[in-house]
C-alpha cells in the first residue's frame, strides 16, 4: 500500500467537512476526483491509519486527527515534495494564500501559485498535490486554507513552515 497525493487531498477534505456525513458522489463533485479513485484512496487512508470507520453499519469514515496532523506536518513534504516551475498565472498558495498571507509580509518576490488559467495572480508555479486542487479550492475556502498551509510546509522557509504547522494544529486538534 502506497498513499497517493490525491489521498492527502481526500483526507484534508474530510477534515474540512467537519465530521458532516458525506458520499463518494459528493466528494467527486467537490474534489473533481473520480468516485472510484476516492474509494480506493479512502481504503489506503484506512490502511495507513489516517482515517477510521466511525459507524460499522456504514462506509463513512472520519479522520484520525492526531495521526493526520503528524503525517501532514512531518510526512507529506518527504512523500510528496514540492515541485517548482516557471512563472505562470495561477491561484496563490503557501504563504501567499490565506491564512498565512495575513501573518507574513509579502515581499517583492513572485508568490507561489498553483498553475491555473482562471487564476488572477502571477507567480512561480508550485505543483499542487493533485491536478484538480485549484478547482476544488475555489469551491471550499476551508479546503483551500489547509492545502495552502500544506504547501507552506512543503515549500516554505522555516518561519512559514512553523506558522503553517501551528495553524494546521489549531484546525486539526480543535474540539
Asked if the model's pLDDT at residue 157 lies above 60, the reply is yes
142, three cell numbers: 476551508
Q: Are residues 167 and 116 in the same domain?
A: yes
Cα angle vertex 62, ends 134, 48, to 5°?
85
How many domains does the chain contain in total? 2
Burial class (CB in 10 A: 0-12, 13-18, 19+), 22: middle
Q: How confident is the model at residue 57 (pLDDT cuts 50, 70, 90)?
A: low
Across 21-35, average pLDDT: 94
Higher pLDDT, 55 or 66: 66
Domain boundary among 59, 78, 97: 78
pTM for the structure as a whole? 0.94
Mean pLDDT, rounded, for 142-153: 98
> In this structure, are 17 and 93 located in the same domain?
no
Same domain, 39 and 13: yes
Structural domain that includes position 20: 5-78
Last residue of a domain, one of 78, 99, 123: 78
Q: Do 29 and 111 have their domain in common?
A: no
> Could you report the per-residue pLDDT of 63-120, keeping only the tens digit for each?
999 999 999 999 999 999 999 999 999 999 999 999 998 887 677 789 999 999 999 9
Task: Taking the CA atoms of 164, 68, 131 and 19 in sequence, report the sign of the dihedral they define.
Answer: negative
Quick one: 115 and 156 in the same domain?
Answer: yes
Q: Which of 78, 101, 118 is the last residue of a domain?
A: 78
Amino acid at each position: 500500500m502506497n498513499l497517493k497525493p490525491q489521498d492527502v487531498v481526500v483526507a484534508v477534505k474530510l477534515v474540512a467537512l467537519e465530521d458532516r456525513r458525506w458520499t463518494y458522489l459528493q466528494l467527486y463533485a467537490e474534489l473533481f476526483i473520480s468516485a472510484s479513485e476516492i474509494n480506493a484512496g479512502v481504503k489506503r487512508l484506512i490502511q495507513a491509519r489516517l482515517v477510521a470507520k466511525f459507524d460499522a453499519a456504514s462506509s463513512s469514515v472520519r479522520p484520525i486527527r492526531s495521526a493526520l496532523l503528524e503525517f501532514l506536518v512531518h510526512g507529506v513534504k518527504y512523500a510528496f515534495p514540492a515541485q517548482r516551475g516557471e512563472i505562470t498565472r495561477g491561484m496563490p498558495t503557501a504563504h501567499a494564500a490565506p491564512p498565512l498571507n495575513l501573518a507574513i509580509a509579502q515581499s517583492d518576490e513572485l508568490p507561489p501559485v498553483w498553475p491555473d488559467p482562471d487564476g488572477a495572480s502571477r507567480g512561480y508555479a508550485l505543483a499542487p498535490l493533485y491536478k484538480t486542487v485549484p478547482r476544488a479550492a475555489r469551491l471550499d475556502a476551508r479546503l483551500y486554507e489547509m492545502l495552502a498551509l500544506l504547501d507552506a510546509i512543503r515549500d516554505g522557509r522555516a518561519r512559514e513552515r512553523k506558522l503553517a504547522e501551528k495553524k494546521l494544529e489549531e484546525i486539526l486538534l480543535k474540539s
